Chain A
Amino acid sequence: MTPVLELKNLSFVYGQGTPFEKCAVDNVSLKINKGEFIGIIGHTGSGKSTLVQMLNGLIKPTDGQVLLDGEDIWTNPKEIRKIRFKVGMVFQYPEYQLFEETVYKDIAFGPTNMGKTGDDLDKSVIKAAEFAGVKPELLQKSPFDLSGGEKRRAAIAGVIAMDPEVLVLDEPTAGLDPMGREILLSQITQYHKERKNTILLVSHSMEDIARVADRIIVMNDSHLVMFDKTKEVFSHGDELRKIGLKIPQITSIMQQLKSDGFNVPSGILTVDEAFEVIVSLLKKEEKLW
Chain B
Amino acid sequence: MVRDVSFGQYFPGKSIIHRLDPRAKIIMFTAYLVIIFCTFNYISLAITTLFTVFYIGASGISPKFYFKSLKVIIFIVMITSLLNLFYGPGEPIWQWWVFKLTVNGINRALFVTVRIVCLILASSCLTFTTSPTELTDALERLMKPLNVIHFPVHEIAMMMSLALRFVPTLLEETDKIMQAQKARGADMDSGNLITKVKALIPILVPLFVSAFRRAYDIATAMECRCYRGGDGRTRMKSIHMVKRDVIAFLTLALIICGVILCNIFIPAVI
Proximity bits, A74-118, B CB within 8 Å = 1, else 0: 000000010011001101001011110000000001100110000
A97 touching B187 in the complex, CB below 8 Å, given contacts A53-B179, A58-B182, A91-B179: no
Measured in the bound complex, the distance between the Cα atoms of B215 and A134 in whole Å is 29
Contact of B184 among A53, A144, A158 (CB under 8 A): A158
Binds A, one of B34-42, B117-125, B199-207, B244-252: B199-207
Q: Which residues of A contact B187 (CB under 8 A)?
A: 81, 113
Contact, CB under 8 Å: B205 / A99 = yes
Q: Is B209's beta carbon under 8 Å from chain A?
A: yes
A99 touching B185 in the complex, CB below 8 Å, given contacts A58-B179, A94-B180, A144-B209: no
Q: Is A25's beta carbon under 8 Å from chain B?
A: no
Contact, CB under 8 Å: A110 / B209 = no
Proximity bits, A30-71, B CB within 8 Å = 1, else 0: 000000000000000000000001001010000000000000
Q: Is B255's beta carbon under 8 Å from chain A?
A: no
Q: Is B93's beta carbon under 8 Å from chain A?
A: no
Q: Is A159's beta carbon under 8 Å from chain B?
A: yes
Measured in the bound complex, the distance between the Cα atoms of B182 and A109 in whole Å is 11
Q: Is B183's beta carbon under 8 Å from chain A?
A: yes
Contact, CB under 8 Å: A110 / B176 = no
Contact residues of B: prevailing secondary structure:
helix
Give the total of B residues in contact with A, Cβ under 8 Å. Answer: 19
Q: Which residues of A contact B205 (CB under 8 A)?
A: 99
Contact, CB under 8 Å: B183 / A56 = yes
Q: Which residues of B contact A96 (CB under 8 A)?
A: 173, 176-177, 180, 206, 209-210
Q: Is B186's beta carbon under 8 Å from chain A?
A: yes
Give the total of A residues in contact with B, Cβ under 8 Å. Answer: 23
Measured CB to CB, the nearest residue on chain A to B182 is A58
Q: Is B169's beta carbon under 8 Å from chain A?
A: no
Measured in the bound complex, the distance between the Cα atoms of B183 and A58 in whole Å is 7
Q: Would you mind naming 15 contact pairs between A and B with Cβ atoms under 8 Å apart?
A: A56-B183, A58-B182, A81-B187, A84-B182, A84-B185, A85-B185, A89-B183, A94-B180, A96-B176, A96-B180, A96-B206, A97-B180, A97-B184, A159-B184, A162-B184
Instruction: Give B contacts to A, CB under 8 Å.
Output: 62, 173, 176-177, 179-187, 201-202, 205-206, 209-210
